[in-house]
């Protein structure tokens, strides 16, 4: 079978390797059908991921068909369409014990710490399988994982229809957050420095957008919210973003961080104390696949246009080169194995 190996940063190789074999009686063999390319995959490829190890088979937005099952497998059958959970947790540590395996102390993420889905077949435990409705196209289903990240963030923030949510950044993550937060009925305000992204945010139903390069963000937020947003989500992640959000967010508000930024952010502790701000991280997703699959299947989240390019898996190296070339038409690439 074909396998795309990131031997080390910036070195991708398309290899011919043996199909992996089931090891445990609860393992399944998944024949890959589609795999998304995420910004974090590009970081792993470039060598700028703070967590990845090499050599690595990337791919954590991975969907396929069950090709073989171990003798004790009960959750899935051969032929089921599945999305593979990106999280492998130990079940023993404190976060695992309190039901938060996404931040397991021994966390392994497929495609990051262990091999993922940029290969024609993958073996994983049955517990990682989430069944997809057969009518959902594989190349659309790659959007489930990135959307689960947005659902997690909204859950961490505890967003309700009472909230005014400010999303800093209208890139891929910001747009997923808009779609997720709209389901919770929150009022949404989005800022970015690129008008085109703000126009896309408007198309997704956001009534108030602010170009923070051209307009005074703090003044505009004051105008639109009086007391400031009750929830702010950082979908931009630069050293100044967290201090900015401690300024802009309403007293008693919540701030969600999502970036893997390892540069320090100079935050004044006084602002957190004086406003009793809750600053919460949001990582990966905790048990969100079922909800996201249902939202897509019921048409609550628009699927059209999310994937901008479908590229055959055999041309995956070309796909990464194309991203490097700065092709702005690329919003989301789904590698197709069919
Ligand atoms: Mn992703």
Q: Please, which residues have CB within 8 angstroms of residue 81's CB and are 6 or more apart in sequence? A: 33, 63, 64, 65, 131, 132, 133, 134, 136, 138, 141
Distance 147 CA to ligand 1 centre (A): 9
Q: Which parts of the chain sit beneath pLDDT 70? A: none
Structure tokens at 321: 């080169």
pLDDT of residue 197: 95
pLDDT of residue 328: 83
Query: Rounded to whole angstroms, how far apart are CA atoms 86 and 71?
Result: 23
233-272, pLDDT tens digit by residue?
Answer: 999 999 999 999 999 999 999 999 999 998 999 999 999 9
pLDDT of residue 305: 77
Q: Which residues, chain by chain, have CB under 5 Å from ion ligand 1?
A: 38, 146
Q: Identify the three-state secondary structure at position 102.
A: helix
According to DSSP H, which parts of 54-112 are helical?
A: 94-97
Q: E strand or H helix at 105, and its extent? A: none
Structure tokens at 298: 């019921």
Distance 306 CA to ligand 1 centre (A): 13
pLDDT of residue 302: 85
CB 126 within 8 A of CB 82: no
pTM confidence score: 0.95
Distance 318 CA to ligand 1 centre (A): 19
pLDDT of residue 88: 97
Distance 226 CA to ligand 1 centre (A): 35
Q: How would you classify the pairing of strands 2-8 and 11-16?
A: antiparallel
Distance 111 CA to ligand 1 centre (A): 10
Structure tokens at 91: 């079940």
Query: Rounded to whole angstroms, how far apart are CA atoms 215 and 306?
Result: 28
Distance 34 CA to ligand 1 centre (A): 13
Distance 120 CA to ligand 1 centre (A): 19
pLDDT of residue 303: 81
Q: Could you tell me the domains of the chain? A: 2-143+303-336 (3.90.180.10), 147-281 (3.40.50.720)
Structure tokens at 206: 């956001």
Distance 294 CA to ligand 1 centre (A): 19
Q: What is the DSSP letter of 6?
A: E
Distance 60 CA to ligand 1 centre (A): 6
CB 83 within 8 A of CB 99: no
Distance 142 CA to ligand 1 centre (A): 9
Distance 110 CA to ligand 1 centre (A): 11
Distance 149 CA to ligand 1 centre (A): 8
Structure tokens at 175: 């747009």
């Amino acid at each position: 079978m074909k396998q795309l190996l990131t031997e080390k940063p910036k070195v991708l190789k398309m290899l011919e390797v043996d199909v992996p074999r089931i090891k445990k009686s609860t393992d399944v063999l998944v024949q890959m059908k589609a795999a998304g390319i995420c910004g974090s995959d590009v970081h792993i490829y470039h060598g700028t991921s703070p967590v990845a190890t090499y050599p690595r088979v990337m791919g954590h937005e991975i969907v396929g068909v069950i090709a073989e099952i171990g003798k004790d497998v009960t959750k899935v059958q051969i032929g089921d369409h599945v999305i593979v959970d990106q999280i492998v947790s130990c079940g023993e540590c404190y976060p695992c014990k309190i039901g938060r395996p996404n931040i397991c102390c021994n966390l392994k993420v497929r495609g990051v710490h262990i091999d993922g889905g940029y290969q024609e077949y993958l073996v994983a435990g049955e517990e990682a399988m989430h069944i997809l409705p057969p009518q959902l196209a594989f190349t659309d289903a790659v959007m489930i994982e990135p959307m689960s990240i947005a659902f997690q963030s909204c859950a961490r923030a505890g967003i309700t229809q009472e909230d005014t949510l400010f999303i800093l950044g209208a890139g891929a993550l910001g747009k997923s957050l808009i779609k997720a937060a709209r389901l919770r009925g929150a009022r949404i305000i989005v800022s970015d420095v690129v008008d085109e992204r703000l126009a896309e945010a408007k198309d997704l139903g956001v009534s108030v957008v602010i170009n923070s390069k051209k307009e005074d963000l703090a003044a505009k937020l004051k105008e639109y919210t009086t007391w400031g947003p009750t929830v702010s989500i950082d979908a931009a992640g630069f050293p100044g973003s967290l201090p900015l959000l401690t300024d802009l967010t309403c007293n008693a508000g919540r701030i969600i961080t999502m970036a893997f930024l390892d540069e320090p952010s100079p935050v004044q502790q006084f602002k957190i104390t004086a406003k009793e701000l809750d600053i919460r991280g949001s990582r990966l997703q905790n048990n969100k696949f079922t909800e996201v699959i249902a939202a897509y299947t019921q048409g609550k989240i628009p699927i059209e246009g999310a994937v901008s390019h479908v590229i055959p898996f055999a041309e995956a190296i070309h796909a990464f080169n194309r991203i490097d070339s700065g092709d702005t038409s690329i919003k989301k690439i789904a590698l197709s194995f069919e």
